[in-house]
Amino acid sequence: MRPIISILIFLCAMTDQSVRASHTTATLVLGVESATPGATVLAGVYLKMESGWHTYWKNAGSAGQATEIKWTLPEGITAGEIQWPLPKKLPPVDVTTYGYEDEVMLLVPLTLDKTLAPGSLNISAKVSWLECKDTCIPASAEIQGTLNIGTETKASATAKQLAVWQTNIPVSKDGFSAQAFWEKPTNGDTRILDFKWSGISEDADFFPAANDNFEVQGGTEIFSTPTGEVCLRKLVKKFSGDWPREISGVFVAADGAHEAKIVIGNLPPTATAGSVSPQKAQPLWRMLIYAFIGGLILNIMPCVLPVIALKILGFVNESRSNPRHVRVLGLVYALGVLVSFLALAAVVIGVKAAGHKAGWGMQFGNPVFLVCLVTLVTLVAMNLFGIFEVTLGGRALDSAGELSSKHGIPGAFFNGVLATALATPCTAPFLSIALGFAFAQNAAVILLVFAAVAAGLASPYVLLSWNPAWLKFLPKPGAWMEKFKMAMAFPMLLTVVWLFNLAAENYGDRVLWLGVFLVMLAFAMWIFGEFVQRGRKHQFFARLTVLALLIAAYAFALESELHWREPLAPRKTNNLAHDIDGIAWLPWSPEALIQARATGRPVLVDFTADWCLTCQVNKRTSIETASVRDKIKSLNVVTLLADYTHFPDSITTELNRFNRAGVPLVLIYPPQNKTPIVLPEVLTPNIVLSALDRAAN
């Protein structure tokens, strides 16, 4: 396509050339007034463009045309190759181009033969270029100058000007080394290429040499590995032939621009692990403190609030009990939380050991887990309504629902388990940092960090149970507690609705049968409570009816109709924008991010999931609002949505790069190659607006 586009631009420009004057002036600049035979003289072709106009680099990119110099030199003088200063990525259009705005000095070494006789020599050249603004016009000029051959070399008045431009010429350096890796297998005619080299620089970039078989596109994603290497992610599009095994171009690093040619290898498994900015190794004690604080904050997250209400109810009920008994209940609750978090840690360790990627809340991507959890929470809600009651030591059929509202040791333990199960789709300040750290560590560190989170989640209740004097501030037990317990069933039902909605993502229209199963389950629990627990007659037939209902609910609704162990394949997002409250969201992918950054516009990326309540709250209250929507439109921001509902590996990898183990994560990329702004887990419209303003400036 690049040759075709260049030809079209040239033909369109030719139709206008007769009525347009050149918007660029060309001048020959010599570094010396006189030189000795055998010397090398530096000459420069200085191009001065009018405001808003530009010319092109040696690799013009997807469109454009490189400047050409045809010398007319006396016998005994030969011209070398053009030395091109580092270009710019030109104003964003649908294609990537490289060139110069305002001015440029193209340097050319002139070699003088040793046999040259003294005297004055005329040096001339024809310079041809393509100049573009709103339209592109081919232009040319004849330039000339005089060089004296004598017994000494004398610098010209313009020598300093040439010296300044010479510092902007990329050079080959023996000590410079870089690596290139294909990041993933072939995907049609587009692949991702990673470049790595030592040296940190926000302005690091790669400018490719021209090639007719493939194109390295202009968008750049930059991050740094923990070992201090810069890593650039570029998109490569192939036009013909095989994928290249060698690539040439200019690498812009901390110590300057380097001409280099390197062999492309296959990406090692650990090569993508990195962070957005170079970070020192975080001390374990600090991450444990973050984990504890994050667990503490989880207590006020919406996921855990229904269980917290039950726990407070339990403290009220036990407030007049023996202090020792209250302390035991607090410790048992903490034990339930700890055991649950250690079980989660074991799952994470097992997933990593199997060679898969692990993420916080990953069990919510498992449809079978969702069906089990929605069933459990439904039982809890039925029990809170008083539909069935079971004494301690009751049967396994209804023990799950009973345990959540009992205030003895089993109830305290189960409340800890339930709090953990409902807390995992939430994240909190400090928690995401600690978990991101833990998921990259060995098994022992993962266990320690998860234990610290558990300690933070359980600590308020342990502290309250070990300070009986504080219980005096709670209301006295009474008949109101029964009403309060029933009221708490409604948040549990809201949790059921939320979980049911998540399950719908996995079963489509078949999810109706999950609703049928839950209704049959609730009916069975009502019969059990009315005719088995509180009834005196027909208990045998009631038990048979309950058993028959449960068997029918499972066999017919779950197995035969829902096919609960055979969820639908995760939905595939397309490349079309979908509008939500006036924001045109595009699906995130590494390729989409690179292409978005190539436009030179700010980019907002929202890493979210359907099961993440914090994500949904952030979206509704702080992103998809009128003020933020207007700001996005006014700044022409590209908006990308990274859907983590089904835990795609590409998003897990991206979260790990930002030292996160889960969502939410909202990033705002400024134009050019600056590192992104990482927003906090809990957002407000002002936080988002301020970050957008910073990115635009």
Task: Encode pLDDT of 110-153 as tens digits.
Answer: 999 998 999 999 999 999 999 998 888 999 999 999 999 988 88
Residue spans of the chain under pLDDT 50: 5, 7-20, 269-280, 390-406, 574-576
Does residue 211 lie in a domain region? yes
* pTM of the predicted structure, to 2 decimals: 0.71
Q: What is the DSSP string of 139-162?
A: EEEEEEEEEEE-SS-EE-TTHHHH
Query: What are 107's strand-pairing partners?
Result: 44, 83
Examine the fold and report which residue of 136, 166, 196 is the final residue of a domain before the chain moves on: 166
For residues 615 and 478, membership in a common domain is answered with no
Give dist(CA 610, CA 644) in Å, integer.
8
pLDDT of residue 143: 95
For residues 364 and 262, membership in a common domain is answered with no
Here the CATH number for the domain that contains residue 94 is: 2.60.40.1250
For residues 20 and 159, membership in a common domain is answered with yes
For residues 227 and 158, membership in a common domain is answered with no
Give dist(CA 273, CA 691) in Å, integer.
26
Give dist(CA 299, CA 312) in Å, integer.
12
Q: Return the ∠ at Cα 594 (arms to 684 and 54), rounded to 5°.
A: 110
Parent domain of 48? 2-166
Examine the fold and report which residue of 237, 266, 295 is the final residue of a domain before the chain moves on: 266
Does residue 549 lie in a domain region? no
Environment class of 394 (CB within 10 Å of its CB; exposed 0-12, middle 13-18, buried 19+): middle
The DSSP output letter for 510 is G
Does residue 552 lie in a domain region? no
Q: Based on the structure, what is the number of domains in the chain?
A: 4
For residues 92 and 235, membership in a common domain is answered with no
Does residue 568 lie in a domain region? no
For residues 351 and 451, membership in a common domain is answered with yes
The DSSP output letter for 211 is -
- In angstroms, what CA-CA distances link 536 with 31, 393, 428, 531? 111, 20, 50, 7
Does residue 512 lie in a domain region? no
For residues 54 and 140, membership in a common domain is answered with yes
Does residue 274 lie in a domain region? no
For residues 15 and 156, membership in a common domain is answered with yes
Environment class of 39 (CB within 10 Å of its CB; exposed 0-12, middle 13-18, buried 19+): middle
Beta strands in 150-213 (DSSP E): 154-155, 178-182, 190-198, 205-208
Here the CATH number for the domain that contains residue 633 is: 3.40.30.10
pLDDT, one tens digit per residue, over 8-29 is 444 444 333 333 358 999 999 9
Specify the 3-state DSSP secondary structure of 130.
Answer: strand
For residues 144 and 210, membership in a common domain is answered with no
pLDDT of residue 307: 67
For residues 334 and 238, membership in a common domain is answered with no
For residues 118 and 195, membership in a common domain is answered with no
Does residue 493 lie in a domain region? no
For residues 432 and 342, membership in a common domain is answered with yes
Examine the fold and report which residue of 166, 190, 210 is the final residue of a domain before the chain moves on: 166
Does residue 523 lie in a domain region? no
Here the CATH number for the domain that contains residue 192 is: 2.60.40
pLDDT of residue 419: 78
Give dist(CA 44, CA 30) in Å, integer.
6
